[in-house]
Structure 1
Amino acid sequence: MVLKVNTSVFFLLIKLMVCYSRHLQATINPTIGAPWPMPQKYSPSNKVYMLDESTFRFEATGETCDILTSAFDRYKQIIFDTTFRFQPKHGTDTENALTVASVKVESECDRFPSLESDESYDLTVSETGIVINANAVWGALRGLETFSQLIVNKYFINGTTITDFPRFMHRGMLIDTSRHFLSVDVIKKHVEAMAQNKFNVSHWHIVDDPSAPFPEMSQKGSYPGPGHVYTASNVLDIIGYARMRGIRVIPEFDTPGHTQSWGKGIPDLLTKCYRKGEFDGNYGPIDPSKNSTYTFLETFFRDIANTFPDQYIHLGGDEVSFGCWKSNPDITTFMSKMSFGTSYSKLEQYYMQNLLNIIGKKLNKGYLIWQEVIDNGAMVQPDTVVEVWKRGYVEELAKITKLGYKTLLSSCWYLNYISYGDDWRK
């Protein structure tokens, strides 16, 4: 499986971009007190106002909740702890410093962000004060982030009028903690960086072939040594941290392939591979022919559904090798019984439909899958979201949407583009 995003590379790239920018200073100047990303409507003025650190405060004039009050404390620290130095050249009104930022949220706070969350906001900075208006608390968070970006040297801000809303409802980043275990603190730094750039979905590829750092499977499936496991409290801590920043956490448990680490702790889950009619000691994907497989999956994903509040779970489905299935005599017998002939894509379809029924009908969750399931000719539920990650994505998107599925594009947005393994050493 090609590593879709590596957080370590994310922070390395930021450092590289900073170094690279130093070579471009003759032609490109950094923006000062400008928002990122560019709002839908952005009208700065030459009027500069002062903020009084000793008296400045945020004030909720509409609905409020723990998300908003926590954001007030966080952004006051962000704003006045900055070390960036800038002296305004325009008229600064030091006698009439702005002391209050009024934030009005129209609707009662949702418990968690969702695909349908309203992130729109209006922001005004003028001589009459600082005002952020938002329909929902998630828009207020985006407005507070923009406000913090407008301030320079702790004290100064341009007069500004902004109307903003995201172009895309799903703006995600994927981290892979199976191949590269990331501590809770590093994951939180990643979430913080997402909030600064107004991303709203943390796609957590939490287990894979190399390791399963997750309860139940972790005793035998995680990397050796202490500290390579996420406890239930760790997971809830990360979800809560992301929630305060308006970021959804979508877990990915990729099956039926990429499950070697699962098999270490779950007996009889994986397919035994045969050579010349005998078990050769190797294991392949999850065995779709056993009823016990679906009993386990329902129990496992029920726990996942209860732990992760988001309405979606990513179920993987990429890069399933049919070789081991083809070698197994029990699966060959099952294929004949089900009238699948030699079409192993039908076996994959059988597995995925059973899994989607568990997730959708029994657990009442939505689901995402990788594009290979569709590429292999398998039919899935009409409400499945198909994520495209391979080259040729334009044609792939056209094919998938023509079939009536919703799609999610990640193909052209890699932060790392590796052939495989530890190319980062180069």
Structure 2
Amino acid sequence: MFKIVVVLVAIFSCSSAINPGPVVHATKGEVWPKPQQQEKSQDFFVIRPHTFSFKAPDNIGCPNFLNDALTRYWTIIATATLKKSWTKQSLLDLDSSLGNLDSLTIELTGECASEEILPAFGDDENYSLTVSAEESLLSAATIWGVLRGLETFSQLIYTEQDVLVINATSITDFPTHPYRGLLLDTSRHFEPVSIIFKTLDAMAYNKLNVFHWHLTDDHSFPYKSRAFPELSDEGAYHPVATVYEQSDVKRVIEYARLRGIRVVPEFDTPGHTRSWGVSHPELLTSCYTGDEANGQLGPMDPSKNTTYEFISQLFAEVTDVFPDSYFHIGGDEVDFECWKSNPDLTAFMAANDLASYEKLENYFIQHVVDILDGLGSNYLVWEEVFVNGVDLPESTVVHVWKFNGGPATLNQVTKAGKYALYSSCWYLSNLHSGGDWNLFYDCYPLEYVDTDEQRQLILGGEVCMWGEYVNEHSVMQRVWPRASAAAERLWSAANVKDMTDAQRRIEEHACRMNRRGIEAQPPNGPGVCL
């Protein structure tokens, strides 16, 4: 009897301690990121997926490009989750119905002459969208605007009493920042092409437009070079299973193109290059202990002409394979200790009047910049290149990333008249307890500089997913919907910052991404996706 009493007390104690806490109730049919201007009625239309269609004139231009987009978004609408089939009787319970919406007309007011058109920096992504009794029209001057408008249209649709509905709505929309990126590191852990595709899908759902592909690092070299196949044969985790073939890269670029997303490659130099040295140790600096080489290798050796000849040949290939006009050359976290230990570099610095190791880095970066200039490519660099005093052309984009001092560095970069990207507050590899998307949402780079002239030099920003502790099984949950917070701050107006409103809308958006196959985490704690 005593034992039974103890068990009952334990059960009672545990159950009485249960505290379900607050539940965030998701919105319905709200758009993420929030449009610049929107008027929304309580009146709505019913959408029957099997009869709904997009209508575009035969002479709209770029038909294959557009047809791909319309097929994708029709499929999203047609496969929306419904618990049961709707009936005419169920519609009687819905007030304010305007009837059925059978189609959306697509209007492309500008030209789209080439099927091979690529997204580029500064593209016009503006669009207008009207859903009313008089007309249902998506209008944009570019195919990129059409893509953004289709995403918005798909998000306006929601379920009510198991029926797909869309409110009468008028939207005029455009991005605040032209560069809205996501960095994915595929060196620390190899990410299969299928994961990259899923990442690009999620980026399109959040109107992000630059995929920064951090391809190589100390840990592996997964890019299969035509000119130097030994780089991945010996420097990748596996010469076949964890390598991006040329065909893989081409598929990623095309998949991104069809979603209006640029692909910017990064081959970080002169540091973070240990994987290069597996097949080509002569590229790297030999480290010394006293007067003897100790067998360790450091950053690239800036004193050898052969280093630049190798880089020139590899980068000529990379700029041919990756059609974007920008190339990220890295330049972060260069460890000077190995350079300091090497007597040959000491002699080289003396002979070339290089009074500091920052000057030696300047010497290296200037050679790489000259190589890319010769290839007709623009370039991005991590903030250390600027902080260390490297002489950079005006067109260089400085990527600010350090958490401590990020706003101050952004201020310095733009005061110097340089273009800037900001990532300091958007490192997805930094984890906090519970849902931490609000920390990313509470960051707005334009607030960190002093003048309008400086604000005009901030092109946008990136969320960064470094790969030390994520792989194909965990990366999507780590990225989404945390990256969505930054996506809204980069797209929407500066006054879109109400955390309570965002909390309810990101709850809906995370569930929306779940329905579309994106393993987004619950952003706000207890709840359910219906």
**Pair 1:319 & 2:333 matched:** yes
- Residue identity matched to 1:276: G
2:48 to 32, 52, 68: 52
- Residue identity matched to 1:55: T
Once the two structures are superposed, residues 363-397 of structure 1 have per-residue CA deviations (whole angstroms, 9 ceiling, x without a partner) of 10110000011112222222110000012211101
**Pair 1:187 & 2:196 matched:** yes
Contact 1:64 1:105 in 2 (8 A): no
2:423 to 387, 410, 413: 410
- Residue identity matched to 1:195: A
How many residues align? The count is 398
Answer with 47-56 or 272-281: which moved more.
47-56
- The gaps in structure 2 that reach 5 residues or longer are 1-19, 433-465, 475-530
Partner of 1:17: none
Partner of 1:114: 120
Partner of 2:205: 196
Structure 2 SS opposite 1:73 = helix
Partner of 1:359: 372
Answer with 119-128 or 50-59: which moved more.
50-59
Once the two structures are superposed, residues 25-81 of structure 1 have per-residue CA deviations (whole angstroms, 9 ceiling, x without a partner) of 2xx321111111110011111111122323321122333332211000000000110
TM-score under structure 1 normalisation?
Answer: 0.89
Partner of 1:105: 108
Give, in angstroms, the shift of residue 23 of structure 1: 5.3
Highest RCO, 1 vs 2 (Cα 8 Å, sep ≥ 6): 2
Q: How far, CA to CA, are the matches of 1:305 and 1:409 in structure 2?
A: 24
Q: How far, CA to CA, are the matches of 2:22 and 2:94 in structure 1?
A: 24
Give RMSD over aligned pairs: 2.1
**Pair 1:291 & 2:315 matched:** no
**Pair 1:125 & 2:138 matched:** no
- Residue identity matched to 1:190: T
1:423–1:265 Cα change, 3 Å = closer
Q: How far, CA to CA, are the matches of 2:168 and 2:232 in structure 1?
A: 54
Q: How far, CA to CA, are the matches of 2:67 and 2:248 in structure 1?
A: 23
Write the mapping of 1:22-421 to structure 2, written as runs, cut at 5 A: 24-25=22-23, 28-61=24-57, 62-83=60-81, 89-94=94-99, 97-109=100-112, 111-153=117-159, 155-215=164-224, 216=229, 217-224=231-238, 226-341=240-355, 343-360=356-373, 362-390=374-402, 391-417=404-430
1:46–1:76 Cα change, 3 Å = same
Once the two structures are superposed, residues 315-334 of structure 1 have per-residue CA deviations (whole angstroms, 9 ceiling, x without a partner) of 00000011111111221121
Contact 1:46 1:90 in 2 (8 A): no
Structure 1 SS opposite 2:279 = coil
Give, in angstroms, the shift of residue 225 of structure 1: 6.9
- Residue identity matched to 1:352: I
Contact 2:233 2:239 in 1 (8 A): no
1:120–1:377 Cα change, 3 Å = same
Once the two structures are superposed, residues 74-117 of structure 1 have per-residue CA deviations (whole angstroms, 9 ceiling, x without a partner) of 000001101056988432244xx222211111222361111110
Once the two structures are superposed, residues 237-276 of structure 1 have per-residue CA deviations (whole angstroms, 9 ceiling, x without a partner) of 1111011111111111110000000111224111111112
Contact 1:47 1:92 in 2 (8 A): yes
- Residue identity matched to 1:77: T
- The gaps in structure 1 that reach 5 residues or longer are 1-21
Answer with 125-134 or 305-314: which moved more.
125-134
Give, in angstroms, the shift of residue 181 of structure 1: 0.9
- Residue identity matched to 1:40: Q
- Residue identity matched to 2:364: Y
- Residue identity matched to 1:90: D
Contact 1:48 1:158 in 2 (8 A): yes
Q: How far, CA to CA, are the matches of 1:70 and 1:39 in structure 2?
A: 24
Q: How far, CA to CA, are the matches of 1:418 and 1:132 in structure 2?
A: 39
Partner of 1:4: none
Contact 2:50 2:78 in 1 (8 A): no
Contact 1:177 1:206 in 2 (8 A): yes
**Percent of aligned pairs with the same residue?**
45
Contact 2:328 2:381 in 1 (8 A): yes
Contact 1:202 1:248 in 2 (8 A): yes
Bigger Rg, structure 1 or 2? 2
- Residue identity matched to 2:169: T
- Residue identity matched to 1:385: V
Structure 2 SS opposite 1:72 = helix
Structure 2 SS opposite 1:171 = strand
Structure 1 SS opposite 2:299 = strand
Q: How far, CA to CA, are the matches of 2:203 and 2:470 in structure 1?
A: 25
